[in-house]
Amino acid sequence: MSIRIGRVLATVVAIVVGLLVLADLFVSQWPNSFGGFSQIINVTGALLVSWAAIVIAFALFLGFANVISVHWTRIRSQKPGTIYSGILLLSLVGTLIVGFYSGGPNSYGSQLVFDFVLQPLEATFFALLAIFIAAAAFRAFRIRDLETFFFVLFAVIVLLGQVPLGIYLWPELPVIKDWILNVPTLAGVRGILLGVALGTIATGLRILIGADRPYTD
């Protein structure tokens, strides 16, 4: 019985909170249409969003605790990859000490960690993708039909239109590249965005009317 009440309570919370925040968004957009209610809805909406930010931040803290728990268990049970778990925990604790001791993410210590560890690693991981995307594309994009031909043709024109080699080969290439990006790509992206937006609204509304309850067991 109490579990059933818990489920109903969760659904009611999702619906009420969602509708209040949605009302706040519309009131902010058209402030003069709701009379005296505008301010109350605005304050309530802002408060709810700030609470959600705290809960999401806390959820990330739980994720942090989970990372430590998983890797600490691996170290204790001497499973394969212990050394990697040790390195991960060391770098994690090291970053935390530097961050808190030096006084936050904008401090000198944290900036050093960001500039000389985090940013180079992130940039290099993404750079590494260039090699593997090129290799995969070379294998996958065998021109079998007209559609693949157009895909490869547009990709090659946009790629070459951005580099000096393309201009050297054919001076009109950047003009064609700009046309591809400004006309057919704009149309395609706009159509896709419209579909994504409608899908987002439909999914959101299903949560707000209680048809979808992804938060229940």
Partner 1 sequence: MEIVGPLVAAILTLMVFSYILGDNVLFKLAAHIFVGVAVGYAIVVIWYQVFAPKFTTGDFIGTAPALFLCFLLVFKIRPVQNSLTSALGNVSLAFVLGVGAALAIGGALLGTLLPQILATANISLNPNHYQNTQNEAGLVEWLNNIIIVLGTVGTFFYFTFAVRANGVLGGLREGFVRFWAGMGRLMVIFTLGALFANTVSSRVALLVSRLQFLAELPGKLLGG
Residues 48-107 close enough to bind partner 1 by CB under 8 A: 48-67, 84-85, 87-96, 99-100, 104-105
Contact residue for partner 1 among 10, 75, 167, 176 (CB under 8 A): 10
* Residue 189 to residue 191: CA distance in whole angstroms: 5
Q: Find the helix or strand (DSSP H, E) in which 29 lies.
A: helix 2-29
Pick 158 or 167: Cβ nearer partner 1: 158
With CB under 8 A as the contact rule, which of the stretches 32-40, 72-80, 165-173, 206-214 interacts with partner 1?
A: 206-214
Contact residue for partner 1 among 40, 46, 133, 175 (CB under 8 A): 133
* C-alpha neighbours within 13 Å on the C-beta side of residue 41: 22
Indicate the Cα dihedral angle 183, 189, 194, 200, nearest 10°: -170
Pick 76 or 192: Cβ nearer partner 1: 192
What part of residues 104-123 is at the interface with partner 1 (CB under 8 A)?
104-105, 110, 112-118, 120-123
By the 8 A CB rule, do 167 and 174 touch?
A: yes
Buried b (16+ CB within 10 A) or exposed e, 19-55: eebebbeebeeeeeeeeeebeebbeebeebeeeeeee
Two tokens at 46? 């802002």
With CB under 8 A as the contact rule, which of the stretches 24-32, 34-42, 72-80, 167-175 interacts with partner 1?
A: 24-32
The count of residues interacting with partner 1 (CB under 8 A) is 126
Contact residue for partner 1 among 18, 34, 75, 174 (CB under 8 A): 18
Q: Is 155 in the site for partner 1 (CB under 8 A)?
A: yes
DSSP state of 114: I
Q: Is 31 in the site for partner 1 (CB under 8 A)?
A: no
Q: Is 184 in the site for partner 1 (CB under 8 A)?
A: yes
CB of 153 to partner 1, least distance (A): 7
Contact residue for partner 1 among 7, 34, 75, 174 (CB under 8 A): 7
* Residue 77 to residue 74: CA distance in whole angstroms: 5
Contact residue for partner 1 among 150, 169, 170, 172 (CB under 8 A): 150
By the 8 A CB rule, do 173 and 167 touch?
A: yes
